[in-house]
Amino acid sequence: MEYNDLQFKIPQESESYSEDSRFVVEAIEAIVKNTIDNGNNKIILNTNLKLGLPMENINKIAGPIIESWAFEIFNDIKDDLNNTYNLVNVESMSRLNMADILLQFKKNNSSITANVDTKATAEDIVHSGKGPNITSFSRIRTAYIQDPDFMFIILSLKHKVYSEKNHLTKLMDGIMEVIKYNVYDLKFLSDNDINYNPALGTGQIQIKDIHYVEYTHRTTWEFCQLLDKKYLSSSRRSFDNWYREAVKNEWIKK
pLDDT digits (tens, 9 = 90+) for 132-148: 889 999 999 999 999 99
pLDDT of residue 146: 97
Would you say the C-alpha torsion 229, 230, 236, 240 has a positive or negative sign? Answer: negative
CA dist., res. 163 & res. 111, Å (int): 42
Q: What would the pLDDT profile of 72-122 be if each residue is shown by its tens digit? A: 999 999 999 899 999 999 999 987 889 999 999 999 889 999 999 999 888
**Residue 130: its pLDDT value, please?**
64
CA atoms of 67 and 117, how far apart (whole Å): 9
Decide: helix, strand or coil at residue 97: coil
Instruction: Specify the pLDDT at position 49.
Output: 75
Per-residue pLDDT tens for 76-87?
A: 999 998 999 999
Supply the pLDDT for residue 174: 79
Assign 157 to helix, strand or coil: strand
The structural domains of the chain, ordered by start, are 12-249 (3.40.600)
How would residue 126 be classed by pLDDT, with cut points 50, 70 and 90? low
pTM of the complete model: 0.91
Query: Which class for 114: exposed (0-12), middle (13-18), buried (19 or more C-beta within 10 A)?
Result: buried
Q: What's the pLDDT tens digit per position in 152-175?
A: 999 999 988 887 887 887 777 778
Nearest-CA neighbor of 100 among 59, 29, 61, 153? 153
Going by C-alpha positions, the residue among 129, 138, 117 that lies closest to residue 198 is 138
- What is the Cα–Cα distance from 25 to 189, expressed in whole angstroms? 13
Q: How confident is the model at residue 125 (pLDDT cuts 50, 70, 90)?
A: low
Percent residues over pLDDT 70 in the chain: 96
